[in-house]
Amino acid sequence: MFAAWFNLGPDQATWGPTPGEISIVASPVPPVALALTLAAAASGPALAHHSFAMFDRTKELVLAGTVREFQWTNPHSWIRLDVVNDRGAADTYAVELNSPNNLIRQGWSSKSLKPGDKVVLTLNPVRDGTKGGLFVAATLADGKILGDVTRAKTAN
């Protein structure tokens, strides 16, 4: 016999096997246990989010280049910037920005940057020397500044 709390009334449920029977009784999940399980499942993305320790926030790198790609994505937007190096070849830098939700509040849109745009980016570089960093500010070709206007730079 199988008695489940959700489909039998209390007078019908068997709370233990009678001689010669095996009874499986399902009990309700305590609300606190259910809430904790749901909270733990929902926190997975937050736990997976990285810290900003990979960026050297004590240094600023100024790069003049051409936008290769602007990704308007969650949880972070990205700029891929081509910068001409000393040998005349292009190095591509990956620059991490805030989320689109926060960028909108700072005056950005998904069309703020387009491939081919000439920009000067100020960023906090990656500590390990990888070509990339954390976005600080952008100075567009028309002089408009996106990001921290107090730290924006012009071409070197």
Q: What is the pLDDT of residues 44-103, one digit of tens each?
A: 554 455 566 778 889 999 999 999 999 999 999 999 999 999 999 999 999 999 999 999
Q: What CATH code is assigned to 61-147? A: 2.40.50.140
Q: 0.75 cut: is pTM over it?
A: no
CA angle 83–85–90, rounded 5-degree value = 50
Lowest mean pLDDT among 86-90, 142-146, 147-151: 147-151
Start-end of CATH 2.40.50.140 domains in the chain:
61-147
Q: Which two tokens stand for residue 100?
A: 């689109």
Contact 21, 1 (CB under 8 A): yes
Q: Which residues pair with 81 in a beta bridge?
A: 67, 93
